[in-house]
Amino acid sequence: MIKPHGSDELNPLFVYDSEKRHALVAEAESLPSLLLNSAAAANAVMLGGGYFNPLTGYMNKADAISVADGLHTADGLFWPVPVVNLTRESGVEPGSRIALRDPNVEGNPVLAVMDVEAVEEVSDDEIRGMAEKIFRTLDENHPGVATFTGLGNTLLSGPIQVLNFSYFQTDFPDTFRTAVEIRNEIQEHGWDKVVAFQTRNPMHRAHEELCRMAMEDLGTDGILIHMLLGKLKPGDIPADVRDASIRKMVEIYFPPNTVMVTGYGFDMLYAGPREAVLHAVFRQNCGCSHLIVGRDHAGVGDYYGGFDAQTIFDEEVPAGALELEIYRADHTAYSKKLDKVVMMKDAPDHSKEDFVLLSGTAVREMLGRGEAPPPEFSRPEVAKILSDYYQSLDS
């Protein structure tokens, strides 16, 4: 199986030894506390699950700026997006040991214990400088920019020990998986070559067929359908609805034992090309050999070119920085001429009218009225789940 990023073995920061974990939970009750924001909490969950291997905790200022500027830490580790604990709180001292509390679970239980190596102030100009490199814009209407620039100016860095996986394990027990668990499951399947499909949306016919194309073209043993379970922008479909619709599609339309439907506990960054590279890093840590990168991968609005998330791998990712390879996908749609889903680049003789194309707005309106989109666009079983959800919003 493919090696994790940056090390021979995966080193998750979750404390698996139950005796040590119970002792840490007890110790945490007597430690000074910091209530995390959702972004820092999501970083802790990803560190705990091994997704952010080989990091040992939150980055310091020098590493964060180096990663934003040039996709590597100060000591040269390839990394695409700063993994930081930015806060508005003051009063934390370097050298202290603190309990990090979860903002997303009632009662704010301790999520992790942190040994604070440094407490650094980051100026507004430095925050904005990092944001511009990560998101390629400083437009406050960009949800990622708005979040990142609003986290605070105090940066706490140092190693952490993770005690639980926030709400992800309890709210999505059948879907949430750590990178450790996914690696183990891939091994149990006996799969060697695995392609990952990233999604924050339900999957329609084009997505389904894209997964099939990738599996066939690459000759993979299986596919990891890997959905984001954390915070999204308003209007995106909740994780439980996405989960149900994807599972139904896989159950009916894919051969048994070819698909793993799983999810990960992270908040969407909407960082386009940089987030695509982050997706590649943590899919390598999951044991995947390939990642599907399609049109406007991890994008939002019109901030990125259609294929910027592919060209970043040619222009900014150094040769050999990742073992995982990307599968480059074009926009996929149902061809009326060929009576099947194709990549548009493979149908040069087609005009726009030859494809079944529906905007997201049009699909949402149809589903809200209880109308199913054409079966060439969405499987009826998937459309039923989504329609029930949209109609529930109006009732």
Q: Give me the CATH number covering residue 51.
A: 3.10.400.10
Strand order in the sheet with 222-228: 259-264, 222-228, 194-199, 290-293, 325-328
Q: What is the pLDDT of residue 153?
A: 97
Q: Which of 146, 169, 192 marks a domain boundary?
A: 169
- Give yes or no: residues 156 and 294 share one domain: no
- Do 110 and 203 lie in one domain? The reply is no
- Whether residue 277 is predicted with pLDDT greater than 90 in this model: the reply is yes
H-run or E-run covering 261 = strand 259-264
The C-alpha angle 137, 143, 144, rounded to 5 degrees, equals 60
Residue 139 predicted with pLDDT over 90:
yes
Structure-token match 């291997």, residue found: 53
Interatomic CA distance for residues 222 and 212, integer angstroms: 10
Please determine, for residue 254, whether its predicted confidence score (pLDDT) is greater than 90: yes
Let me know whether 156 and 211 are in one domain.
no
Give the whole-angstrom CA distance, residue 74 versus residue 95.
21
**Residue 200 near residue 246, CB atoms below 8 Å:** no
pTM of the model: 0.94
pLDDT at 237 over 90: no
For the cut 80, the answer to whether the pLDDT of residue 76 exceeds it is yes
Question: Residue 110 in contact with residue 117, Cβ under 8 Å?
Answer: no
- Packing angle of the helix pair 179-189, 273-286 (nearest 10 deg): 60
CATH number of the domain enclosing 335: 3.40.50.620
Please count the other Cβ atoms lying within 10 Å of the Cβ belonging to residue 185: 17
Instruction: Print the domain residue range for 388.
Output: 171-394
Catalytic site residue from 108, 128, 201, 328:
201
Apex CA 13: angle with CA 11 and CA 15, to 5°?
115
Q: What is the DSSP string of 317-381?
A: S-TTS-S-EEEE---EEEETTTTEEEEGGG-TT--GGGEE---HHHHHHHHHTTPPPPTTTS-HH
SS3 assignment, position 191: coil
Please state, for a pLDDT cut of 90, what percent of the chain lies above it.
81
Mean pLDDT calculated for residue range 137-148: 97
Under the banding of pLDDT at 50, 70 and 90, the label for residue 370 is: confident
Give all strands (DSSP E) within 91-221, no chain letters. 97-101, 110-115, 118-121, 154-162, 194-199
pLDDT at residue 352, rounded to an integer: 87
Which pLDDT band holds residue 395 (cuts at 50, 70, 90)? low
pLDDT score recorded for residue 363:
82
Ranking 105-109, 117-121, 158-162, 232-236 by mean pLDDT, the lowest is: 232-236
What's the pLDDT score for residue 90? 79
| 150 and 198 together in one domain | no
Catalytic residue among 21, 200, 212, 247: 200
Instruction: Say whether pLDDT at 210 is over 90.
Output: yes
Q: How many domains does the chain have?
A: 2
- Is-catalytic flag, 201? yes
In a domain, 372, yes or no: yes
Q: What is the pLDDT of residue 226?
A: 97
pLDDT at 79: 98
What φ, ψ does residue 41 adopt, rounded to 5°?
A: -65, -40
Mean pLDDT score, 9-23: 97
What's the token pair of residue 262?
């799983």
pLDDT for residue 215 is more than 70 = yes
Does pLDDT of 4 surpass 80? yes
Domain boundary, last residue among 169, 202, 227: 169
Whether residue 190 sits in one domain with residue 165: no
Residue 200 among the catalytic residues: yes
